[in-house]
Structure formats: structure tokens, C-alpha cells
Amino acid sequence: MNPADPGGAIAAPAAPGPASRRPLPARASHFGPAAGGTGPDAAGLAFVAEMYGVQVDQLAAALGVSSQRAGAIAGRWVGRRLAQAERLSAGPRWVWLTRAGLTACGLAYAPSPPALPRLPHIRAVTAVRLALQGAPGYAAAGAHWRSERRLRSRLGGRLGQRDHLPDAEVHWPEIPAGPPDGSGPPAGPGSGASQDQAGGSVTDLVVPGRPVPWAGECWAIEAELTPKTVRRTSAIMTELLSRTGDYGCPAAEARVPGRPARYARVIYLCSPAAAGPVSRARAALGPAGARIQIRALPEAGYLRGGRQARR
């Protein structure tokens, strides 16, 4: 196993839980009682590690606690030298993991504070993750967020000119974590029930214990704050849509005509300024653009004072 990717290609899906905003389920028990590790601690540390760093308000949203409580948790991490916290931008403090924190999570990422120019983007991606995780059905379907940091670590510094890394991948396993009531195996995605309900609301689509219609897919997530040129955006879209191999795979397998595409769809979360070029780039792709979905970036994805600057 790649030491930088302890979870393998796709980490184990999270346990099912209520669809509303709630504390993240514990992924691993790296923390014993001696370390003072609790479920939220472990999950929070892993969350922070995967996102490069997060602001305390987003950490609070991730852990399902108040900002004050999240600040206290971050302070405890800092006290144990698992994390560092500083005010890197306007708004709440940023928290990121030290080498000890990353080691405690079993991750071999390079410990460094989030880069200042990337802070808006990191916050935007974190907000997208939180919004997705809060959406009904995400946890029930056992979806898994695979961060850019994990993808980059799989490449091991071999990011070629042709490789564009998405901001994240979302994996939808074909078999959900299990029916909450334990009543038998889940129905397949092609079952009549799910298709009949497909045209309804999302609550109709997501039935606990039953795969979502898009189970088995892998999505690429792109958060666009600043507008790129249509040509560049179109090239990125084409690259993502035509990719067949995982990141870190042999170069020859990255794009193999005839193989199933890696990403069933690409989800763009755009600021108002970036939405136009992204939509034009999607239109330029023609029918292939059908696999691209564009939505607005959540309000919580903007750094304080950044939204006005990008309008």
C-alpha cells in the first residue's frame, strides 16, 4: 500500500447516518484513550488533513459543534502539537496539522501551512465538501470524498503537463454501508423501485438501505472562483472527461480509448464570475458536455470579503 494513501484507491465508506448536518463519522481509530482521541477528534483531524487546512467555522460545521467548541478542540490539538492554528486571512483562524498530527492520522503528506494564495480556493472546496456531506443521501449512499491532497500524494510529484488534478473526487459505492434496519440486502440500482422514483425529489431518490441511481459512479469536483479562459476550461473538461485511469497509474493507462471513463460526471461549483466561462466551455464540448453539471458555489465558500471582490 502506498504510505501516502493508507486508504488505498478508495477508502472505506463512511457509516450511514442522518442526512442533515451532523458530526463526521469516525473513519479510523488512530486515537486511543491515552491520546485523548475521541470520534470527533479523529474525524476532525482526518478532515483537516485532507483539506490542507480549514477555518475554525468550517471545522465547527464539519464536527457539528459550535464555533467556540471547535476553537477549543483546535486549541487542544495545538496543545498536543498535533496541529497549528493561526489567523492567515480575514475571518476565523486556520487550523492545519503538524507532522505529528499527520502521522497520528497515518498520512504521509508533507506538513505545511496552507499556502496563502490558495486560501480562498481551499475554503471554497471545503465548503463544497460540507455542502455535499450535508445533502440528503450522501452518507446513506456511503459516498466518499477523495481530496486533491490525496490524489496529489498518489502522484508522488509526477504530475505531468497533461495531468489536471480535480479539486476532489466523490466515489459512490455500488453497495451502501448497509440498511439501517438490517433488513436484508439492498436492491440494485436498476430495480424498478429506484427508477420509478428517479423522477421525483431527492428524498424520493435516496432511500435508506437502497443504492442511489448513480451508485458506482465517480465524480470529479471542481471549485471555480476566478474565471479562466473558455479554451482552457474546455481543455480541462475534456481532460477530465476522457481520463480512464486513476491518478498514479501508469501513464499508458491514463487515457485509453475504449475503456470506461473514470469520471461519470464533473461537477463545477462556480462563483458568479466564473459561471459564464464555465458554461460556455461546456457548450463548446457539444454532447460530451452532458456529463458536466454546473452549480453555484455555496455562500460559505467565500472568504470574508472575498465575495465582493469577485462579483
Partner 1 sequence: MTGLARSAGRGLARLTARTAVLLGTAGVLVAAVPVVAIGAAAAGLAWLRGWPPGRLGREAAWQLPMVAVWLAAIALTSQSWERTAAAPYRAWLAMWQLAQAGSYARALVVVAPAAIPLGLLAGAAAWAYRLRSMAAAAGGSSPGAAAAFDRRQWRHQVRTARARIAAPGAVPLTTAAGDVVVGATIRAAGPGGDRAASGAGGLARLPYERLRSHQVILGGTGTGKTTLLLRLWAAFLATGLRRHAAGQGRAPLLVVLDCKGGGDARRIASRARRVLRAAGARATAIWPDEASLSIWDLPPDQLVTTLADLVEQGTGGAAYYADVLDAVVALAVTAPCGPPAGRAEFLARLDPGWLTLAWQAGGGPELELIRTAGRQVADVALRYRALFRRLGPGLDGPGSLADADAWYCIVEGTAETAVAEAQARALVDLLASYITRGPGDREVLLAVDEFSAVSRRLPIWALYERARSLGLAVQVSAQSWHGLAPDDTGRYRIAAAAEGGIWLLRTPHPDPVTALAGPRRVTETTRRLIGFPRWSRAGTSRAADAPVADPALIRALDVGQAAYLYRGAATFVQISRLVTGPDALAAGLATDPAPARAPAGAGAAAAEQDSPARARPPGAGRRRDSQVVMAGVGAFLDAAFGPEPAGAAGAASPVPAAAGDPAAGTAGSSAAAGRAVPGTTGAPGISGGRRDR
Q: Which is nearer to partner 1, 105 or 270 (CB)?
A: 270
Q: Does 33 bind partner 1 (CB under 8 A)?
A: no
SS3 content of the chain, % helix, strand, coil (to 5): 40, 10, 50
Number of residues that bind partner 1 (CB under 8 A): 74
Query: For residue 114, what is its C-alpha cell?
Result: 496552507
How many Å from the N-terminal Cα to the C-terminal Cα in the chain?
45
Could you say whether residue 74 binds partner 1 (CB under 8 A)? no
153 and 176 Cβ atoms separated by less than 8 Å: no
**Interaction of residue 135 with partner 1, rule CB under 8 A:** yes
CB of 204 to partner 1, least distance (A): 8
Site for partner 1 in 209-238 (CB under 8 A): 212-218, 238
Beta carbon nearer to partner 1, 103 or 238: 238
Q: Which is nearer to partner 1, 28 or 235 (CB)?
A: 235
| Residue 198, helix vs strand vs coil | coil
User: In the set 244, 249, 307, 310, which binds partner 1 (CB under 8 A)?
Assistant: 244
Kindly tell me which of 35 and 283 has the beta carbon lying closer to partner 1: 283
Residue found under cell 480575514 = 90
Say if CB 62 and CB 56 are below 8 A apart. no
The reply on whether position 185 binds partner 1 by CB under 8 A is: no
Between helices 56-63 and 67-79, what is the axis angle to 10°? 100
Of the candidates 293, 304, 305, 309, which one interacts with partner 1 according to CB under 8 A? Answer: 293
Sketch the per residue contact string, 145 through 184, with partner 1: x for CB under 8 A, - otherwise: -----------------------------x----------
Q: Binding residue for partner 1 (CB under 8 A) from 295, 304, 305, 309?
A: 295
Per CB under 8 A, 201 contacts partner 1? yes
- CA 200 to the chain's CA centroid: 26
Of 42-50, 108-116, 149-157, 268-276, which part binds partner 1 (CB under 8 A)?
Answer: 268-276
Measured N-to-C along each axis, helices 39-50 and 67-79 cross at an angle, to the nearest 10 degrees, of 80
Q: How far apart are CA 183 and CA 159, in angstroms?
A: 46
Binding span for partner 1 by CB under 8 A among 40-48, 58-66, 134-142, 303-311: 134-142
In whole angstroms, the minimum distance from the beta carbon of 93 to partner 1 comes to 27
Tell me the chain's radius of gyration from C-alpha atoms.
19
Name which of 101 and 301 has its Cβ closer to partner 1. 301
- 143 contact partners, CB below 8 Å, separation of at least 6: 13, 14, 132, 170, 171, 172, 173
Among 93, 144, 149, 262, binds partner 1 (CB under 8 A): 262
DSSP 188: P
